[in-house]
A and B are shown apart, each in its own frame.
Chain A
């Protein structure tokens, strides 16, 4: 299963709202997660089952979608949100999107 993530690069300002999209090459139901990775750190899961937030994750992060199209929305961007984001499908083996690097404008 191939995951197409867009955009690959995003420039935004503190306080902005941004949306990242992931498209699966076939129906993956809700077998999708979103991870955040900061330089020098391991990835950290934010969202699983497409729309369920991990405990302790800010309510500024939300996920939606089912089947083949999924979105991660971050509202009111904070300085600590500037990182790289990946989607992951675990419907059949495991495949990540290519990543979205979110940088401060």
Chain B
């Protein structure tokens, strides 16, 4: 079982950078092989995968967002982070962190989720 919790500001101004952190309990982020992901769900819309960082530190991003997105790992703090630059109202959403053990069976992504952190982009 991997327990995780998102944290960060609930309000961000347009054009600024949204920063969130996911704190993971249950062991070192360098142990085993995992994908540490960020996802979001805008109000009234479906879930969107943003990207992930692997245990070894390499990253993969959603091509629709990758120019604005940075996901990084801080294993000393058992945390991984999201930075999304140049935000607009369209980035208002509930943001989730999730963990996937790899390798995995088909369709077996996103095993453990945080409870979500609501972020509003507004001046």
Chain A positions near chain B (C-beta within 8 angstroms): 5, 29-33, 35, 41-45, 47-50, 52, 86, 88-91, 93-99
Contact = CB atoms under 8 A, between A and B. Distances in A.
Interface of B is mostly: loop
A48 B108 contact: yes
A32 B107 CA distance: 4
Contact of B115 (A5, A41, A49): A41
Contacts of A30: 106-107
Interface in B57-74: 60, 62-63
Interface residues of B, number: 22
Contacts, number: 70
Given A86-B46, A93-B49, A42 B108 contact: no
Given A42-B116, A43-B110, A88-B47, 12 more contacts: A31-B106, A42-B98, A43-B47, A48-B106, A49-B107, A49-B108, A50-B106, A86-B46, A90-B108, A93-B49, A93-B63, A94-B109
Contacts of A5: 46
A52 B108 CA distance: 10
A29 B106 CA distance: 9
B34 interface: no
B116 A31 contact: no
A45 B110 contact: yes
7 contacts: A29-B106, A30-B106, A32-B106, A52-B105, A86-B47, A91-B106, A96-B48
